[in-house]
Chains A and B, each alone.
Chain A
């Protein structure tokens, strides 16, 4: 039961990652790409959680904490960069 659903969840998260990556490559402006990057980091947090369940290694959750933290800092940094006159029109 759990093994099958973990496989299904891996597939769904990969699909979500693919969609977010399409937006990341296509996105017409830089903030669109930043939004896609943040979504990708959130999906990766989910990936790490599912992987922790599959392998039974609980300390993988620290990786999820670090990923969430760096994604937040990256979003703030990108926003400051865009607002303080980075690329105006991508």
Chain B
């Protein structure tokens, strides 16, 4: 019985790994590739580790499998964020079918400055309203 469960978990994990690698092979540009890999490969590793934990059924093994899963779930988004940021700022070409790139009109590549949200449209705060000095 437990063998069937472990087999199903391993097969699902491997299927998600294959899905992630098909995505990284077939998708057109860097953000879409990262969209495929980070989520699907993290889920694949999680399912594989769940299979390991069910197969051994020992508390130390389960603790290590849970540690691996937690570690992957903590680090995969951070790594994806950092790589995507670096790729965008070094000018990796986006796919020509990209519909919206909100960062392009807010970000000044030359000065390396980012304007944020609604207050970018307003005038900057006038320097006149200094606190009056009562002396």
Q: A residues within 8 Å of B by Cβ?
A: 1-2, 5-6, 8-9, 12-13, 15-20, 22-23, 28-29, 31-32, 34-36, 38-39, 42-43, 45-46, 49-50, 52-53, 58, 61-62, 64-65, 68-69, 71-72, 75-76, 78-80, 82-83, 88-89
Contacts and interface: CB of A to CB of B under 8 A. Distances in A.
Interface residues of B, number: 54
A50 B85 CA distance: 33
In terms of DSSP, what is the predominant structure of the interface of chain B? helix
Which 4 residue pairs of A and B lie closest in terms of their CB atoms, listed nearest first? Answer: A31-B87, A19-B21, A5-B7, A16-B21
A10 to B, nearest CB: 8
Contacts, number: 172
A1 B5 CA distance: 11
Interface of B: 3-4, 6-7, 10-11, 13-15, 17-18, 20-22, 24-25, 30, 33-34, 37, 41-42, 44-45, 48-49, 51-52, 55-56, 58, 60-61, 64-65, 67-68, 71-72, 75-76, 78-79, 82-87, 89-93
A36 B87 CA distance: 14
Given A15-B18, A53-B55, A68 B71 contact: yes
B68 A31 contact: no
B87 A29 contact: yes
Contact of A35 (B11, B15, B18, B24): B24
A8 B128 CA distance: 72
